[in-house]
Structure 1
Amino acid sequence: MTGGATVLVRGARARSLTLSCGGSPGLGSSGAFVLALTHSRHACRSFYESTGPEDPSPPPLPRLRPHPLPLSLPLLPRSNANAAAALTSCSSRQKSHSCADPDKTSTSTSTTTTSFCWTRALDGSQTNTPTLSGHIASSAIFPQRRFHSTSIFPTAVMAEPKWPGAVVRKTFLEFFEKRGHTIVPSSSVVPHNDPTLLFTNAGMNQFKPIFLGTISKADPMYSLKRATDTQKCIRAGGKHNDLDDVGKDSYHHTFFEMLGNWSFGDYFKKEAIEMSWELLTKVYGLDPSRLYVTYFEGNPDMGLEPDLEAKGLWQSVGVPDDHILPGNMKDNFWEMGDQGPCGPCSEVHYDKIGGRNASDLVNQDDPMVVEIWNNVFIQYDRQPDRSLKSLPAKHVDTGMGFERLVSALQNTVSNYATDIFTPLFKRIEEVTGARPYTDKYGADDVDGIDTAYRVIADHIRLLTFSMSDGAVPNNDGRGYVVRRVLRRGVRYARKYFNAEIGSFFSKILPALVDQMGEQFPEIVKKQQDIREILDEEEEAFARTLDRGEAQFEKYANAAIKKGEKKLSGAEVWRLYDTFGFPVDLTKLMAEERKLEIDDEEVKAAQDKAREASKVVKNSVQTFAKLNVHQIAELEQQLNVARTDDEAKFIKGDSKAKVQLIYDGKGFVKTTKDIAENAPLGLLLDKTNFYAESGGQVADTGRIVIDGVAEFKVLDVQNYGGYIVHNGYLEYGTLSSGNEVICEYDELRRSPIRNNHTGTHILNHSLREVLGDDINQKGSLVDNEKLRFDFSHKTGVTIPELKKIEDFSNSYIRQNGKIYAKEVDLDLAKGIEGVRAVFGETYPNPVRVVSVGVDVDTLLANPKNPEWRKISVEFCGGTHVEQTGLIKDLVIVEESGIAKGIRRIIAYTGDAAHQVQREADEFSKRLDALEALPFGPEKEQEIKTTQHALNQLTISTLTKEDIKKRFDKIVKSVTDEQKKRQKAEAKTALDTVVAHFDKNKDSKWFVGQLPISANAKAIGEVVKHFQSKDKERSVYLFGGSKNEGSVAHGVYVGTHLSSQGVTAEQWAAQVSGVVGGKSGGKEPTRQGQGTKAENLEEAVATAEKWLKEKLNI
């Protein structure tokens, strides 16, 4: 389109404005872009004239100041080359708004018209053109600046849109459910079984085991063929991070929903494409002319052909050829990672403006032409060498941005203008008293308040859903992301809304819970916990926010004054270390001051600060990591049966046969040609080794042919039912078919069994003592300890810990038998008091472990309230046969790891006895400390003992008693020190006074006093002479070689000061001898040093210097 659109504004101050769109790819030649504009204090009638392509030179564009005009955008198709004009009649209702007058720099309050517009062409025919309510801002909305006008913002918030967000979501799920899909609940935003992810960031995350082929047959999702869900997603921190963009534009979010449908080896491209098109155009009713689709164009270098099948399928459902576009590897080939499942994808894009051909704007980061749905066709497996292999089963993985879809259906330019966010904006307005949200961006958002609205609405969503799923603020990993987001939001609230910090976010929370609680009931259930965490975090940050901002301003002002353009890395790190300012928050503040931050400098400062606290963590090496192709090869090509591991529950060795050996590249039948000590993965037909699972570490041990070969097992992992023993061949040769003996390390397995059964008993004891609200949040069971994380709002008191430990040991001493049996999952869930881990996926049937009562007895009367008095859990781990084998359970630590999450570490068996022995030894050490006479040696031993006590790992209860005893010893020493200091002060003064009584003409005294390095005693003498004998001077020393320290002090009386002697000069001579520094105001100085061996020299130096000064 060439030429321009002349807009004549009728009203109190009419003027002519030109909207230049000439030659822009944003407006194709197939449609005229007509703006129905109203700007009047009372009423409106507007006339628009659109020139055709034959106009050679459009009028020049006047330079305009930001001039927000309330608009609707009727989008008229161009009927011919000379589409002359369209007349818009607007029936309006009025609402107060703030509007900038183009002739004034200030903002005036006037009346906005809420316009319900239709258009009529000059030939008299009425057109049903869609009206786009929204905001055309500066580069934030149109980064290519193809529009040179000012801004367009919604003139009214739709109270009841045709497609409310909740209805959009429900319609999507029901559509696919009717087509054979199972509605799967959203997984947690905190991945439970995927260490590669900081947060769940896509709908497919929970289905990765299916795509990878590692899902166990016992997993309830193993038989899943079709699925649909709305997945909670977070993209903040890590590889996928939208945090820095939130608030600046209309479509970035740190928390969002991903609607999706999946096929696992069932339907493929044809069905996926047909259902996508049907849902979008027939069910939701989106205008097909606004939809554009892409397909993979191929890549000859990778040996990949164009996905012409997808192209043809889109044609078959009626998509015009000029709306079907090829895409490259970046946009149209999806990969899970550097290796693994991958395949071509076909995207659906939506043009928010319409009435034009926007094909050249697809995948050009234009916010008016956005991707709303992506159909991924997973048909390849990326190999480590970057080659591709066809997958044995092909899958479909689709994802549609919920917020973007709702924006399209509610006909808004911005995701934030939909009813997903407007209730949150309303609540923010109520809490802060701020002006209403107006959906302005970039330079148009002059006061920054709209940006702050968006940031806070986005952040409360992330905070609420992350916390409800267990990600609470801390300084590590995802916990630190949560803390960063909260603090970022807090600063926006304070800076732009002048909000009181301490309970701000918790006041916004109810609006979100009301809005989304029906779909996600976890936020309803956890609302109070979330509220408490939010308030606690805000209060903590509020304590340092003012000081931190003040310090930032000092750094920023200093940098600007010096003409520098950045803050130093040391300053940025100090803001974090001292005031808790996340680096990205400081970066945001720096941007506001036109300053930069050097990330490398910050990292260097961080590394330097943390160098002393580095902790080296050792991890077990897993040699064999089977991928989906290798698992398929074992099952389909090599016909290798999955490993029978039932023997892991039976004590003792077992026999097995070697099936195959994995050498890191592939499967071989013999180790004959493999070097000794090379890492290998051994597959057997049966095993008694426990593969790492459910918080219990893997077994170690050996697999042998007596006298022929020995394979050291260092780690054991389960890949889709194939148990891989990772280790190395110490000697000999192993081949397929060899009969071997499996010997797990019983000395290591035994404490693991103790700790696992001990974990069950501890879990049961916690409920008995603290109540039913106790829920397991995590556990670790190894051969050294058990670690158990559980929900509890407050710290566990010492009396409560004593009850828990006593109850546990009483239970252990009953010597009850441990029963285990696989039970139908639904039946097992019906057992009264049964314990399970929240968020964990359990197989069906599930293994039930009961301490003291046979499982069949439980099932015979599952609702018997007596079962709450015993430990019953779902568990696949190894356990002792009877509780008495555990011997004892000793709690060695109770701490809080997050708000509402407590952690107990405990020892059982021999380890429990060992810590009891260590407690006894420490008690003996305290006996010796008590027996020491008062003096420097005892004081030094107290320091050493304090350090050892801090490092001591013993029973928490015993440690509490030991601390009380130690504190008593420290108090006795402190009391003795006070007495000694008082006595020494008297001795020091008497000594000096006696000297002057004996030498009445003497004007000064230099000497060592018969006291310890008692600075207070020396200070008392100095004060005495300063107040009562101002003429005489003294230089006093205390300490000894045995004590290892020196105290010294000087007072210069009037006699010496009149001759030019100063305390500062005099003390400087001494400090150089004894070490350390001195301080004070004339005429006094005091100091301490550590070079007690130079004490006599120091006295001599003080006297020599004075005599030289006086020429004596």
Structure 2
Amino acid sequence: MTSSEIRDNFLTFFKGKSHTIVPSAPMVIKDDPTLMFTNAGMNQFKEYFLGNSVSKYPRVADTQKCLRVSGKHNDLEEVGKDTYHHTMFEMLGNWSFGDYFKEEAIQWAWELLTKVYKIDKESLYVSVFEGSKDEDNLQMDKEALELWKAIVPEERIIYGNKADNFWEMGDQGPCGPCSEIHVDMRSKEEKAKIPGAQLVNKDHPEVIEIWNLVFMQYNRKADGSLESLPEKHVDTGMGFERLCMVLQGVHSSYDSDIFTPLVRELEVLTGKSYGKDKETDIAIRVVADHIRAVAFSIADGQLPSNNGAGYVIRRILRRAVRYGFTFLGTSEPFIYKLVKVLVTTMGEAFPELKKQIVLIENVVKEEEHSFLKTLEQGLILLDEIISKTKGKTVDGEKAFELYDTFGFPIDLTSLILSEKGLALDEAGFNKAMTRQKERSRSASEVSKDDWNIVSEKGDQEFLGYDQLQAEVRLVKYRKVISKKEGAQFQLVFDKTPFYPEGGGQVGDKGYLEVPNGDVVYILDTKRENNEIVHFAKNLPKHLEQTLTAVVDRGKRASTERNHSATHLLHQGLRLILGTHVEQKGSAVHSGHLRFDFSHFSKMTEEEIQRVEDFVNQRIREKLPLQEERNIPMEKALKEGAIALFGEKYGEQVRTVRFGDSIELCGGTHVSNTADIWHFKIVSEGAIAAGVRRIEAITSDAVRDFYEDKNQQLDEIKSHLKSSGDPVKAVEHLLEENNAMKREIESLLKDKARSLKIQFKGELESIDDFYFLAKEVDLDAGAMKDLAFEMGQEEDKLFLLFASSKGGKALLSCYISKELVASKGWNAGQIVKELGKYIQGGGGGQPFFATAGGKNPAGIQKALKQVRSLIS
């Protein structure tokens, strides 16, 4: 059973029990001060449990995206080390809001697990709350106990303490006693050695909790006391990943079809093999798990950042990067390449991944790149610290210096030290951290020398609106050490053609020509304390000489085209979507542009096309740049100039106009919209609640984009072996393919009819039934059809068909219902037992079941052994 089928079966089952199926809530919580993330399926229903609101539906079921990496429910450090803990996971759940309670919840859970999913009853254990003698003084859950006694033998009922069987969402909120259902996946031999009841809640990797039935009766208040809820509710949560592990017959959720595509892609990306080395396996599991958590968080509007929920997401991603760097040998961004695989496997169930794939890839790649720089520097310095450490404890002050100056996460320092048999002086670290919080935050970002004065300074003049080259003199310089960029020099000139980063536009790059022929490259340009500062790796010789400052003409031109396009884009969005659209940020680079704006919903394809057409129409109109460089703010606003929220403007401002588009802007622009050549939107998606992001390209990037599309089209034509209309060729190919499928289906039916006649003559009469076990050249569907057709024509029939297709082994077992009733045979149990010979497993109904495996060589043994199973 595939993961998709498992998920669908759950929802279908509870839909049949009069539950309304609702979509998953976002994983990132915006309106609950007690939580940053959804850590359980019940979070979105909290108001109903508290009695603050009444649910429209008394019974609800869904699959909920959850994240447990902070606070009380924190599984982060377990992830990767074992085979079943995860950060992000799906929680299958059913709820009752003042409707049914313990009896129905328990009975339905047992029915679904044993009758729908066909989990062996003998492998299941349940637990009930035994009560507590602490300040809460809670009584044993006798009601649940009696209900379970009517279903399972008492020796498979475990009495759980408050930690295991009293569920609380956090320090505050709805809570109550719970009954957990555990499954023992061990072999018969292992089960015979130690009863499963002794291993429940003992962190045994093959005896795991699969479902938690929480009976909401109380509310935990801020002072720690409990109060009864206005109504009794049911909140159940079943770990989807664990359920798939059980039903797919694997002993690790990473071996289920939820994770195997990610694991396979990681093997390709890293050249490592999963299942051969412990450290490699842990690293692969960490990365495969963490990309899900990060991707889903970004899709739900939470980007990595330095505080709050964003810090948690950044920490998860950095943990994955570190494992890749240390154990998988990756020194370049690679995790972002998993996003497409994740979208393929989960995009249908969670379409938000599909909608924001570009954004997710870009954010992850950018975060990887930044942290890899930090890791390279930090690991070298940490090794130096370790080499100088006497004893087994690393000085907390030294660890804090690594954290503070180079941004190396302290949890990674602790992890690396523990792997080397060392400990961290946490008290020393915390003391240093406390001192740091009392100092200015900016001091920790960059270490700066004093300015060295070279010449007298007047008012610095910016020449960049009119020229890209100028004779300049160095006024002052200083050395800076940045944890991100390392050692650099900051240079200030009397005048400059270099545009400093601002208003979303990147700073100019270029070089300085020195009279002796040397060249000093300018890596970036920024504004600091109203001065334009240039960043270089080295200083020019003969500091007093006149230098020629030259802006990179190509990058500046591309950046100007993209910046002017953002103005036209802003105008188009306001005209087409509405004047509620406000710019919330932008990034203008030479290769692309990014524009963030307020809007309440995803843009439709038609809206995107209309905006794109609007911008290109303004380009074709060849609108000239009209600018006023020094105009009173009030006058600019009266003329209709748009001021961006959050931007700081002086009394005198600069306006940039292209036709009807007029904005306050200090950036550089094309002299005519025709210079943009063409504008193409490549993505649109959400980055936060109510904030959308458009990414677009212009000019040469558009040309490259369409050349790439043309190349793809040519390749398609080549494969089609057609020089005509490729659409018609594809349509013709599909028609031919469908016709061939129909023909194959017809041939298979003819073959099955022929085989049916042949096999009826080969039936062996044993006592009071007919028997046939045979290998056939049919696929799974054809074997099933053949078995059922023979079953309609022959009574008391036992059939076992086997086949080998694509290097896989298949078994199909059919038993007449008369034999199921009279002899107690079960096709599901039979194929499950025979599955070990083909290195696989399966299941189904008592009268028909199938199994699949990876060892076709075991087919003949399975065919021979079936006699002993039914003798």
Quickly name the TM-score band, shorter chain normalised. Answer: 0.5 to 0.7
User: Which residue is 2:94 aligned to?
Assistant: 261
C-alpha contact (below 8 Å) 1:919/1:958 kept by paired residues? no
Among candidates 17, 21, 24, match of residue 183 of structure 1:
21
Distance (whole Å) between structure 2 residues aligned to residue 213 and residue 890 of structure 1: 50
Answering whether residue 155 of structure 2 is matched by residue 315 of structure 1, we say no
CA shift, 1:303, in A, is 4.2
User: Which residue is 2:228 aligned to?
Assistant: 390
Change in 2 beyond 3 A, CA 1:774/1:398: farther
List per-residue Cα deviations over 1:739-780 (Å, max 9, x = no partner).
xxxxxxxxxxxxxxxxxxxxxxxxx9997526499999xx9x
Aligned CA-pair RMSD: 3.9
Equivalent residues in 2 for 1:839-858 (5 A)? none
Among candidates 294, 308, 316, match of residue 463 of structure 1:
294
User: Which residue is 1:118 aligned to?
Assistant: none
Distance (whole Å) between structure 2 residues aligned to residue 573 and residue 957 of structure 1: 44
Distance (whole Å) between structure 1 residues aligned to residue 98 and residue 4 of structure 2: 31
Among candidates 225, 247, 252, match of residue 409 of structure 1:
247
CA shift, 1:580, in A, is 2.9
Distance (whole Å) between structure 2 residues aligned to residue 772 and residue 345 of structure 1: 53
User: Which residue is 2:329 aligned to?
Assistant: 498
CA shift, 1:788, in A, is 7.0
User: Which residue is 2:128 aligned to?
Assistant: 295
Distance (whole Å) between structure 2 residues aligned to residue 766 and residue 836 of structure 1: 21
CA shift, 1:244, in A, is 1.8
Change in 2 beyond 3 A, CA 1:295/1:198: same
Among candidates 278, 288, 313, match of residue 482 of structure 1:
313
Equivalent residues in 2 for 1:804-815 (5 A)? none
- Aligned AA for 1:390? S
Distance (whole Å) between structure 2 residues aligned to residue 265 and residue 766 of structure 1: 55
- Aligned AA for 1:325? I
Change in 2 beyond 3 A, CA 1:774/1:485: farther
Answering whether residue 138 of structure 2 is matched by residue 304 of structure 1, we say yes
Distance (whole Å) between structure 2 residues aligned to residue 773 and residue 485 of structure 1: 40
- Aligned AA for 1:515? T
C-alpha contact (below 8 Å) 2:29/2:36 kept by paired residues? yes
List per-residue Cα deviations over 1:617-671 (Å, max 9, x = no partner).
xxxxxxxxxxxxxxxxxxxxxxxxxxxxxxxxxxxxxxxxxxxxxxxxxxxxxxx
Q: Does the residue aligned with 2:118 lie in a helix, a strand or coil?
A: coil
Q: Tell me the TM-score normalized by structure 2.
A: 0.53
User: Which residue is 2:651 aligned to?
Assistant: 919
Distance (whole Å) between structure 1 residues aligned to residue 247 and residue 330 of structure 2: 34
User: Which residue is 1:836 aligned to?
Assistant: 600
- Aligned AA for 1:836? F
List per-residue Cα deviations over 1:411-445 (Å, max 9, x = no partner).
2222222222211111111112222x11x7xxxx4
Among candidates 571, 579, 584, match of residue 406 of structure 2:
579
CA shift, 1:366, in A, is 2.2
Among candidates 351, 363, 376, match of residue 533 of structure 1:
363
Q: Does the residue aligned with 1:263 lie in a helix, a strand or coil?
A: strand
Change in 2 beyond 3 A, CA 1:248/1:307: same
Answering whether residue 50 of structure 2 is matched by residue 212 of structure 1, we say yes
Distance (whole Å) between structure 1 residues aligned to residue 187 and residue 91 of structure 2: 25
C-alpha contact (below 8 Å) 1:788/1:905 kept by paired residues? no
Q: Does the residue aligned with 2:158 lie in a helix, a strand or coil?
A: strand
Change in 2 beyond 3 A, CA 1:449/1:614: closer
CA shift, 1:385, in A, is 5.5
User: Which residue is 1:518 aligned to?
Assistant: 348
Answering whether residue 571 of structure 2 is matched by residue 769 of structure 1, we say yes
Equivalent residues in 2 for 1:70-89 (5 A)? none
CA shift, 1:919, in A, is 2.4
Among candidates 377, 382, 395, match of residue 547 of structure 1:
377
C-alpha contact (below 8 Å) 2:51/2:231 kept by paired residues? no
Change in 2 beyond 3 A, CA 1:575/1:240: farther
Q: Does the residue aligned with 2:30 lie in a helix, a strand or coil?
A: coil
- Aligned AA for 1:398? T
Distance (whole Å) between structure 2 residues aligned to residue 378 and residue 484 of structure 1: 33
User: Which residue is 1:372 aligned to?
Assistant: 210
CA shift, 1:567, in A, is 2.4
Answering whether residue 179 of structure 2 is matched by residue 346 of structure 1, we say yes
User: Which residue is 1:940 aligned to?
Assistant: none
List per-residue Cα deviations over 1:664-685 (Å, max 9, x = no partner).
xxxxxxxxxxxxxxxxxxxxxx
Is the radius of gyration larger for structure 1 or structure 2? 1
Change in 2 beyond 3 A, CA 1:773/1:395: farther
User: Which residue is 2:160 aligned to?
Assistant: 327
- Aligned AA for 1:545? L
Change in 2 beyond 3 A, CA 1:358/1:542: closer
C-alpha contact (below 8 Å) 1:766/1:774 kept by paired residues? no
- Aligned AA for 2:124? L
Could you tell me the percent identity over the aligned residues? 47
Change in 2 beyond 3 A, CA 1:772/1:370: farther
- Aligned AA for 1:603? N
C-alpha contact (below 8 Å) 1:265/1:395 kept by paired residues? yes
- Aligned AA for 2:382? F
C-alpha contact (below 8 Å) 2:567/2:663 kept by paired residues? no
Answering whether residue 257 of structure 2 is matched by residue 419 of structure 1, we say yes
List per-residue Cα deviations over 1:823-844 (Å, max 9, x = no partner).
xxxxxxxxxxx952679xxxxx
C-alpha contact (below 8 Å) 1:891/1:905 kept by paired residues? no
CA shift, 1:960, in A, is 7.5
Alignment gaps of 5+ in structure 2: 443-565, 615-636, 655-661, 669-871
Distance (whole Å) between structure 2 residues aligned to residue 419 and residue 461 of structure 1: 14
CA shift, 1:451, in A, is 1.3
C-alpha contact (below 8 Å) 1:347/1:375 kept by paired residues? yes
C-alpha contact (below 8 Å) 1:231/1:259 kept by paired residues? yes
Distance (whole Å) between structure 2 residues aligned to residue 552 and residue 202 of structure 1: 38
CA shift, 1:397, in A, is 0.5
List per-residue Cα deviations over 1:799-819 (Å, max 9, x = no partner).
999x99xxxxxxxxxxxxxxx
Among candidates 335, 358, 361, match of residue 196 of structure 2:
358
C-alpha contact (below 8 Å) 1:773/1:792 kept by paired residues? no
C-alpha contact (below 8 Å) 1:225/1:264 kept by paired residues? yes
Among candidates 70, 73, 95, match of residue 240 of structure 1:
73
Distance (whole Å) between structure 2 residues aligned to residue 773 and residue 585 of structure 1: 50
Alignment gaps of 5+ in structure 1: 1-162, 616-763, 780-786, 805-833, 840-861, 870-885, 894-903, 907-914, 924-954, 962-1112
Distance (whole Å) between structure 2 residues aligned to residue 338 and residue 498 of structure 1: 41
Distance (whole Å) between structure 2 residues aligned to residue 290 and residue 396 of structure 1: 25
Distance (whole Å) between structure 1 residues aligned to residue 585 and residue 239 of structure 2: 33
Q: Does the residue aligned with 2:175 lie in a helix, a strand or coil?
A: strand
C-alpha contact (below 8 Å) 1:250/1:367 kept by paired residues? yes
List per-residue Cα deviations over 1:368-425 (Å, max 9, x = no partner).
2111111111112335554443322111111111111111112222222222221111
User: Which residue is 1:749 aligned to?
Assistant: none
Q: Does the residue aligned with 1:905 lie in a helix, a strand or coil?
A: coil
CA shift, 1:958, in A, is 7.5
Distance (whole Å) between structure 2 residues aligned to residue 769 and residue 580 of structure 1: 40
Q: Does the residue aligned with 2:100 lie in a helix, a strand or coil?
A: coil
List per-residue Cα deviations over 1:925-984 (Å, max 9, x = no partner).
xxxxxxxxxxxxxxxxxxxxxxxxxxxxxx9948789xxxxxxxxxxxxxxxxxxxxxxx
- Aligned AA for 1:535? K
Q: Tell me the TM-score normalized by structure 1.
A: 0.42
Distance (whole Å) between structure 1 residues aligned to residue 421 and residue 8 of structure 2: 46
List per-residue Cα deviations over 1:50-91 (Å, max 9, x = no partner).
xxxxxxxxxxxxxxxxxxxxxxxxxxxxxxxxxxxxxxxxxx
User: Going by fraction, where is helix more abundant, 1 or 2?
Assistant: 2
Distance (whole Å) between structure 2 residues aligned to residue 327 and residue 800 of structure 1: 54
Q: Does the residue aligned with 1:175 lie in a helix, a strand or coil?
A: helix
List per-residue Cα deviations over 1:465-492 (Å, max 9, x = no partner).
1111122122112212222222222222
Distance (whole Å) between structure 1 residues aligned to residue 577 and residue 28 of structure 2: 17
Answering whether residue 438 of structure 2 is matched by residue 611 of structure 1, we say yes
CA shift, 1:228, in A, is 1.1
Distance (whole Å) between structure 2 residues aligned to residue 556 and residue 392 of structure 1: 58
C-alpha contact (below 8 Å) 1:293/1:348 kept by paired residues? yes
Number of equivalenced pairs: 502
Distance (whole Å) between structure 1 residues aligned to residue 337 and residue 599 of structure 2: 34
Distance (whole Å) between structure 1 residues aligned to residue 81 and residue 639 of structure 2: 59
Q: Does the residue aligned with 2:383 lie in a helix, a strand or coil?
A: helix
